[in-house]
C-alpha cells in the first residue's frame, strides 16, 4: 500500500485527478479479491467522488480539493487498519 498511497499523494499535489481516478479504480478492483470490505467501500466511494469531476466537466475548486484530502486521509487510516490486521493474522515480524 505505501507505493499506491505515495502515488496518490503525488497525483493530488499535481491535481492530476484523471490519473488519481485510474489509480483508485485499480485499487478498488484489487480490494474485491482480498476480503477487505471497508477498504473496498472507502476506495469505491473515493473513486466515485473523483469521477464526478470528469462526468460533470467541472474544474477542481478549493472545496473539491479539500474533500479529496479528507477522503485521502480516510483512505490512509483504513489502509493502516488493514495492514495492522494483516500483521496480527500473519504474525509478520517488524
pLDDT in tens, the chain (94 residues): 778 899 999 999 999 999 999 999 999 998 888 888 999 999 999 999 999 988 888 888 999 999 999 999 999 999 999 888 878 877 756 5
Domain count along the chain: 1
What is d(CA 28, CA 77) in angstroms, rounded to the nearest whole number?
16
Parent domain of 6: 2-90
Q: Residue 19 belongs to a domain with what CATH number?
A: 1.20.120
pTM of the shown model:
0.84
User: Which of 3, 85, 90, 77 has the alpha carbon at shortest distance from 43?
Assistant: 77
What is d(CA 88, CA 48) in angstroms, rounded to the nearest whole number?
31
Amino acid at each position: 500500500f505505501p507505493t499506491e498511497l505515495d502515488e496518490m499523494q503525488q497525483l493530488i499535489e499535481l491535481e492530476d485527478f484523471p490519473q488519481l481516478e485510474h489509480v483508485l479504480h485499480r485499487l478498488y478492483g484489487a480490494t474485491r479479491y482480498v476480503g477487505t470490505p471497508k477498504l473496498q467501500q472507502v476506495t469505491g466511494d473515493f473513486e466515485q467522488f473523483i469521477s464526478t469531476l470528469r462526468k460533470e466537466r467541472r474544474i477542481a475548486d478549493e472545496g473539491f480539493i479539500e474533500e479529496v484530502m479528507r477522503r485521502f486521509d480516510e483512505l490512509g487510516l483504513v489502509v493502516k487498519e488493514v495492514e495492522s490486521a494483516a500483521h496480527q493474522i500473519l504474525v509478520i515480524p517488524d
